Structure 1
């Protein structure tokens, strides 16, 4: 087994995973610590080291609210450890490989976690890459800066470093991806067969990286799971990049709240003090730092880049869970809903209001269709109309999820299944759930290898056919309580929304 590998900065030693045929390298540095003068700068080159670096443990997680202290479903499900180390020194990645030598060329997955660009980390237990590595995939999970550390903008930053004024978390992802391109061959991976993937804000990150022209050629496929990216209606979208000027004003407000006036002063502040003050303002609803249109990394509306074909065009697997928690069009009452409908649909607003589903979110109910679903589907219906279109494979995750809280197929629950890590979850999953997870992981591995999820499972059995999602055949793969079932989008409401976008 490949237990020691070379990198551009020095040698690293990994450990056998639970399956001793797999080696895990945890806490591999891909950039210099973003501390001191490197705070609020693009990631800088990592320093070399002598000897063999032991990469046996996950590095500390990025600066964020301490996990494991809340009562929401995410604290109960994943973010369970209040004692997990947290540090501003966080630019590390993790690798799982079953390669026996460095001259193998296995397909590579680069994973970006979700969490609204405020929370999350690579060491979450559902992200264990071992099951994919058993399927001959080299798995890499990349950590990145979050919140005020990763996405703050400020006029002084724009003046100091116009080539990288913000979006430091996105630049961290980009730096991690490029490190993989330069180094993954030493871990048995193929640098010319990389798939980038993410879920929620990680899915939005994937789409943002696809929209960044500087990334041309750095990856060959993409997976967008419940991608927090935007709504085709630009209403209540979770992720609509702010202008640099607008985001800069929020940075000025944060400086004022922290009692500093210059970058020099702010860079001397204790990291936990910054985290606390930003959290206070965010909880008051004053700010929420995410990706900014900085005219460098993000050069315009990323949704437009998908619709007009100017993004990095590669095959995509995308999908969502049945009970996502973000509505596409929210109104507190019928009067507001009618006004929003008129603005979004114009002459056909009455047709929209005739659907019973249109009224389900009044007063804060669950949406019958989510902004992530509409955003991704609209992007790939546009792709299908372009010359030389790339395939998109769409899924819906709708099995039963056990538990006394009766959660439904809530946002993010499919992560346990795609990574096939159900055994780490506290929910009373049964054998049939494990069967679904194996099947989903098989489809995912096939796509990472070839750009097509179809083929055979890990035991050599042929999988049910998964057709491409196109304008003429809106095919989906439904992961149901009984496993994978090919289906066609049958919601007249969803079709209306997609067919009547402005």
Structure 2
């Protein structure tokens, strides 16, 4: 087992996970702390250090509202968030779980971005512990990044200071983490030519944001998007222009009576966090003309996004409103957009679509809620407060097998274990627009005809948008 290894910055030491054949390295620095003059700047390469860095514990989480503060909040309980977790601007660290016996093993790699609407979240959340996927011969990496005000502020002074990186610092952190993995993962037994990036909710949107950057092509072999691909109609995208983002930044400074960027960088992080919470500002990825030149969904429909095999899906109880007020399951909208993209661009890489429909157990009767599939794809049910039974554990094993097969080969059908209950998973490029339904029974089924999906697309995306791409 690899317990001590050499990165480009220095030696790191990990610990045996619960499974002694897996080594975890937690809190590995991939960039300089974004503090002081580095606040609201693109991430800088981590400096060299001497000695051995013990990577035994998660690093502090990104600045955000205190996790788990509201005990009645659904996700605070679901993810078992606790207010005492350390928090700091010094947050650019990643975590690695590796089953490699030697650095020459060349195992496939899975790089994960957490969700949370770009406003909250962290890599220490128990639902995406990487050990179970690592048991399947994969090196798992979870990347922390700046969020909310600290990761996505824009302001005219920032644009003047560095026109090449005026905004989207949290997304640039994600990219820096990916580049670090590409440059260093051999030291952990990983293959830099076999990197799959994945994420859920805003982390899934972040995956598409990274695919929307052509310079990422050398780093990404495949992609996984869970509960996060098409959660907003095209006419109400979560992206904003740089000018809109700058105006929001100016308004934030005006309310706080901040007269310059220099003054803002000198303010305590806790003060800025608390004022942001008090004022209720939300901060998003912006079309900055550099890192993001267009909204990723539009580029998907015009073929201007990295063409890699894609594994994507949703949970049963995720819905979106059409323009006429009716609700459409987001899986239908995702498939509709995929139909449009294939019709317009002839994209050829295989994509595999799923719907997670198994109701979660519990007195609250939550159904198959947003991101509930995480417990199953990472096979971390034992860490959840819910009382699961055999059917849940069997399904989790199968779902984790299928995801792991995709990470290894680009096909969820390949190399699955003999005990797998997975029927043949047909890709969604075939005539009948197939998806895998994960429920009490696992079924590969046809979602809708192409004509029905195009009708859904027109309802949700808007006929004017459809006309522009045909």
The answer on 1:250 being equivalent to 2:248 is yes
| 1:150 lines up with 2:151 in the alignment | yes
2:309: which partner in 1?
A: 315
Q: Which residue of 1 aligns with 2:46?
A: 46
- For residues 121-270 of structure 1, the aligned pairs below 5 Å read 121-229=122-230, 231-235=232-236, 237=237, 239=238, 241-270=239-268
Distance in 1 separating the partners of 2:453 and 2:173: 36
1:300-379 matched pairs, under 5 angstroms:
300-324=294-318, 326-329=319-322, 340-341=323-324, 359=326, 367-370=327-330, 373=331, 376-379=334-337
1:89 alignment partner in structure 2: 90
Q: What are structure 2's unaligned runs of at least 5 residues?
A: none
Change (3 A) 1:477 1:229: closer
Matched pairs, number = 458
Match of 2:223, SS?
strand
SS in 2 for 1:413: coil
Alpha-carbon distance between aligned partners in 2 of 1:11 and 1:382, rounded to the nearest angstrom = 49
The alpha carbon displacement at 1:257 in A equals 2.2
Partners of 2:336 and 2:453 within 8 A in 1? no
The one-character-per-residue Cα deviations of 1:106-133 (angstroms, maximum 9, x if unpaired) are 0000000000000100000011100000
Could you give the per-residue CA deviations for residues 13-33 of structure 1, whole angstroms, max 9, x where no partner exists? 000000000000000000000
Query: Normalized against structure 2, the TM-score is what?
Result: 0.94
User: Partners of 1:301 and 1:457 in 2: how far apart?
Assistant: 36
TM-score (norm 1): 0.88
Deviates more, 1:45-54 or 1:71-80: 71-80
Contact kept? 1:231, 1:375, Cα under 8 Å: no
In the alignment, what sits opposite 1:62? 62
Deviations 1:139-184 (A, max 9, x none): 0000000000000100110011100001000000000000000000
CA distance in 1, matches of 2:348, 2:328: 29
Distance in 2 between residues matched to 1:281 and 1:493, nearest whole Å? 43
Runs of 4+ more than 4 Å apart? 459-462, 490-495
Cα distance in structure 2, aligned partners of 1:378 and 1:198: 21
Tell me the secondary structure at the aligned position of residue 327 of structure 1.
strand
1:487 equivalent in alignment to 2:445: yes
Number of the residue aligned with 1:334: none
Measure how far apart 1:79 and its partner are.
Answer: 4.7
In the aligned structure 1, how far is the partner of 2:420 from the partner of 2:440?
20
| 174-183 or 299-308: bigger deviation | 299-308
Is the 2:357–2:438 Cα contact (8 Å) retained in structure 1?
A: yes
Corresponding residue for residue 353 of structure 1: none
Shift of 1:51: 1.0
8 A Cα contact 1:42 1:172, kept in partner: yes
- For 2:14, the equivalent position in structure 1 comes to 14
Q: How far apart are the structure 2 equivalents of 1:122 and 1:449?
A: 23
CA contact (8 A) 2:406 2:414 kept: no
1:399 maps onto 2:358 in alignment: yes
Alpha-carbon distance in 1 for matches of 2:134, 2:205: 25
Q: Would the aligned equivalents of 2:61 and 2:122 in 1 still touch at CA under 8 Å?
A: yes
Which residues of structure 1 form unaligned runs of 5+?
Answer: 330-339, 342-357, 360-366
